[in-house]
């Protein structure tokens, strides 16, 4: 067997082994025993917007992200429900900055509220849960959107893709919130 053939067979064996084990790609989604749904890394896209100026693929490069855990405001849950809160700020499109804020239950990962607005804190559109099309991936600290429609008066947007967040919460809540 030639050296080229051995190299090719070794490469095929490595790829097959990685595929059987679930990857080798650190950006791939995996489920979590603490709950949530696997969400693939994807561009964050706003479409079907009215006004159309909100449409676009939003840059996450300079996003400022936070996560928290509380029973405070910005949730539709009762005061006794523990929830996680995630905010992704400075998402950029067409020279403007936007934000996404959401809250979800620690135990079921059900969405409580989802807000979309400009960096000047102007709420453009929102929805309250439960809301189909939103998935929470605790293992990868990622929120997935699949044809999620938000409305506020005449403003309408459809969200697709994923947003990633970091954790800055107490260690006791990291298993539930990411």
Give the start-to-end residue ranges of the domains of the chain.
1-25, 31-177
pLDDT band for position 160 (cuts 50, 70, 90): very high
pLDDT digits (tens, 9 = 90+) for 81-133: 577 888 888 899 998 999 998 888 777 888 888 999 988 768 898 888 778 89
Is residue 16 within 8 A of residue 131, CB to CB? The reply is no
- Give residues with Cβ within 8 angstroms of 70, minimum separation 6: 83, 85
- Cα–Cα distance, 142 to 178 (Å, whole number): 9
Residues β-bridged to residue 105: 83
pLDDT at 8: 31
Closest to 106 (Cα-Cα) out of 44, 42, 10, 174: 174
Reading the block at residue 156, the tokens are 């309408």
Reading the block at residue 50, the tokens are 């009215």
pLDDT band for position 6 (cuts 50, 70, 90): very low
Q: Which helix (H) or strand (E) holds 14?
A: helix 3-21
pTM above 0.75, yes or no: no
Instruction: Lowest mean pLDDT of 13-22, 121-130, 140-149, name the range.
Output: 13-22
């Amino acid at each position: 067997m030639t050296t080229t053939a051995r190299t090719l067979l070794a490469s095929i064996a490595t790829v097959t082994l990685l595929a059987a084990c679930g990857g080798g790609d650190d950006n791939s989604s995996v489920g979590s025993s603490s709950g949530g749904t696997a969400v693939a890394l994807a561009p964050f896209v706003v479409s079907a917007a009215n006004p159309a100026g909100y449409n676009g693929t939003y840059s996450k490069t300079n996003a400022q992200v936070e996560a928290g855990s509380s029973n405070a405001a910005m949730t539709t849950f009762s005061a006794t429900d523990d929830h996680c809160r995630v905010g992704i700020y400075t998402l950029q499109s067409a020279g403007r900055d936007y934000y996404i804020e959401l809250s979800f239950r620690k135990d079921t990962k059900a969405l409580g509220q989802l807000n979309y607005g400009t960096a000047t804190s102007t709420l453009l559109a929102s929805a309250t849960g439960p809301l189909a099309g939103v998935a929470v991936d605790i293992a990868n600290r990622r929120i997935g959107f699949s044809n999620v429609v938000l409305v506020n008066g005449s403003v309408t947007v459809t969200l697709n893709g994923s947003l990633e967040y970091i954790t800055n919460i107490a260690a006791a809540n990291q298993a539930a919130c990411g």
